[in-house]
């Protein structure tokens, strides 16, 4: 059976290396990219998604509780001495999504990248991962 027909097995490793694995292939993400990706994976496992911030509403962000979790993850992975809390607004969110997609295409190829990036979820509504929740391993 072709691997493209099999369900994707995704592993997100929450350590200093900030790696996302699809099978044996991995992609290393920056602290900010990893923070939004781990948040999306946690939300998918919990059956939730994020709302895409509006471009037309000044100061609009992802949901406050999700932004708090994003910043908790980011605090674990940012450079030492950087005191920063990030507002995940439209520009920030869209930039993170496009850089993650570009890195995933390079690491996993277009087919797997399309299955594993943060995207519009027609089942749950909002934006998140579309990987089957029980196919996601969250390693600490």
Structural domain span for residue 110: 3-139
Residue-wise pLDDT tens digits, 18-31: 999 999 999 999 99
For residue 49, give the nearest of 39, 58, 64 by alpha carbon: 39
> Which pLDDT band, with edges at 50, 70 and 90, does 5 fall under?
low
Q: How far apart are CA 122 and CA 115, in angstroms?
A: 13
Supply the pLDDT for residue 134. Answer: 94
Put simply, whether the predicted model's pTM sits higher than 0.85 gets the answer yes
How many domains in the chain?
Answer: 1
> Which pLDDT band, with edges at 50, 70 and 90, does 122 fall under?
confident
């Amino acid at each position: 059976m072709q691997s493209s027909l099999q369900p994707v097995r995704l592993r997100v490793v929450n350590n200093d290396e900030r790696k996302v694995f699809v099978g044996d292939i991995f992609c290393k993400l920056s602290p900010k990219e990893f923070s939004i990706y781990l948040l999306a994976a946690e939300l998918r496992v919990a059956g939730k998604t994020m709302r895409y911030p509006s471009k037309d509403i000044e100061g609009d962000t992802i949901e406050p509780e999700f932004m708090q979790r994003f910043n908790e993850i980011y605090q674990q992975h940012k450079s030492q001495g950087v005191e920063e809390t990030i507002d995940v607004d439209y520009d920030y969110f869209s930039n993170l999504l496009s850089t993650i997609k570009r890195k995933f295409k390079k690491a996993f190829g277009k087919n797997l990248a399309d299955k594993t990036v943060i995207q519009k979820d027609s089942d749950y509504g909002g934006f998140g991962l579309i990987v089957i929740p029980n196919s996601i391993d969250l390693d600490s």
